[in-house]
């Protein structure tokens, strides 16, 4: 299992390098594919992955990503409103086949997966986004790794004993500090190739700490959904890691945080 997980992790890193360094349409298309798979994984829990409500979710996600690329809508809120109206129409005309919790899951899935993941692309499009975007991974995957190591060595106080008994307060602190240190190291390395102002570097390290703290909420929230439905993994797409939502649960919630912090404060 460890060997499979390691190989899959290396492949994921290589793919992330290719897609994010290339950016533009390749990154957008890759995120759209991940979003559709992730939505499918979530919808499958609610048994709507092949139902009209789920199909409308996939279509709304595609329209959202096309608009990110071409900006043909004056306001993207139009997508949410039209999607909701169509979902309500399906709910009414298929009654009682579709239950209200499935309706809400269909609407939630678009935003939780599709919209949130899109902030990887939106961050990449920012000024200096080519190197800022990596903070999303440093304070999600980096936090997860550091938290695991520190928790194993020093963990004594349970952070969420019912939901995730193996996670500790010490591990959480280690994850936040570790993410900040990894970001500082990352900025030091790339400063050999590009000029980075100290006034920019310090906020990015702080952003990494904030993102790492919030990434743990994303991780635990995804675990809570799985616990509610008594499933181990969302899918099997990534050997040793599970599905898209299993591997990108913390990235999903971290991406918009890093985007807005960079957008408003840099």
Task: Give the pLDDT band (50/70/90) at residue 1.
Answer: low
Instruction: Give residue 6's pLDDT.
Output: 66
- Tens of pLDDT along 120-170? 999 999 988 998 999 999 989 889 889 888 988 887 888 888 888 788 899
pTM value?
0.93
pLDDT for res 8: 75
Q: Return d(Cα 264, Cα 266) in angstroms, integer.
A: 6
pLDDT level of residue 7 (50, 70, 90 thresholds): confident
Average pLDDT (204-212) is: 94
Q: How crowded is residue 169: how many other Cβ atoms within 10 Å of its Cβ?
A: 15
Residue 155's pLDDT is 78
Q: What is the average per-residue pLDDT within 111-117?
A: 97
Containing 164, the helix (H) or strand (E) segment is strand 164-168
Q: What is the mean pLDDT of residues 226-237?
A: 87
Question: What was the pLDDT predicted at 154?
Answer: 85
Residue partners of 61: CB distance under 8 A and separation at least 6: 32, 35, 36, 39, 110, 113, 114
Average pLDDT of the residues in 64-81: 95
Encode pLDDT of 13-68 as tens digits. 888 889 998 989 999 999 999 999 999 999 999 999 999 999 999 999 999 999 99
* DSSP H or E stretch at residue 159: strand 158-160
Q: Which two tokens stand for residue 75?
A: 């306001």
Which whole number is the average pLDDT over 237-256? 88
CA–CA separation, 53 vs 72, rounded Å? 24
CA 17 to chain centre: 16
- Which residues does residue 238 pair with via DSSP β-bridges, in sequence order? 242
Q: Is the pLDDT of residue 257 over 60?
A: yes
Is 232 in contact with 239 (CB distance < 8 Å)? no
Give the single-character DSSP code of 96: T
pLDDT of residue 232: 86
Dihedral through CA 43, CA 102, CA 254, CA 194, nearest 10? 50
Nearest CA to 116 out of 8, 16, 222, 231 is that of 222
User: Of the candidates 255, 252, 254, which has an alpha carbon nearest to the alpha carbon of residue 34?
Assistant: 252
The average confidence (pLDDT) of the chain is 91
* 3 state SS of 243: coil
Mean pLDDT of 112-123: 97
pLDDT of residue 3: 67
pLDDT for the residue 163:
83
Q: How confident is the model at residue 86 (pLDDT cuts 50, 70, 90)?
A: very high
- The length of the chain is 266
Sign of CA dihedral 192, 193, 197, 200: negative
pLDDT tens-digit map of 89-110:
999 999 999 999 999 999 999 9
Q: Is the pLDDT assigned to residue 258 strictly greater than 80?
A: yes
Tell me how far apart the alpha carbons of residues 85 and 80 are, in angstroms, rounded to a whole number: 9
Task: HSE, CB side, 13 Å, CA atoms: give it for residue 42.
Answer: 35
For the chain, give every domain's residue range: 1-125, 128-266
């Amino acid at each position: 299992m460890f060997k499979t997980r390691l190989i899959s992790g290396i492949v994921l890193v290589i793919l992330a390098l290719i897609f994010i360094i290339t950016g533009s349409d390749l990154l957008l298309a890759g995120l759209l594919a991940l979003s559709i798979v992730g939505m499918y994984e979530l919808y499958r829990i609610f048994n709507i992955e092949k139902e009209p409500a789920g199909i409308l979710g996939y279509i709304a996600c595609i329209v959202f990503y096309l608009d990110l690329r071409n900006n043909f809508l004056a306001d993207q809120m139009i997508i949410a409103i039209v999607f909701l109206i169509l979902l309500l129409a399906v709910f009414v005309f298929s009654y009682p086949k579709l239950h209200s919790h499935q309706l809400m899951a269909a609407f939630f899935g678009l935003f939780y997966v599709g919209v949130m993941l899109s902030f990887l692309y939106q961050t990449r499009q920012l000024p200096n986004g080519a190197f800022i975007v990596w903070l999303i991974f440093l304070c999600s995957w980096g936090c997860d790794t550091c938290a695991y190591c520190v928790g194993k060595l020093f963990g004594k106080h349970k952070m969420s004993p019912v939901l995730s008994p193996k996670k500790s307060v010490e591990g959480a602190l280690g994850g936040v500090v570790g993410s900040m240190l990894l970001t500082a190291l990352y900025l030091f390395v790339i400063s050999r190739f590009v000029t980075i102002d100290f006034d920019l570097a310090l906020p990015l390290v702080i952003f990494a700490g904030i993102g790492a703290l919030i990434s743990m909420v994303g991780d635990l929230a995804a675990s809570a959904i799985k616990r509610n439905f008594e499933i181990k993994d969302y899918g099997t797409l990534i050997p040793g890691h599970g599905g898209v939502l299993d591997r990108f649960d913390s990235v999903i919630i971290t991406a918009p945080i890093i985007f807005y912090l960079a957008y408003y404060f840099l």
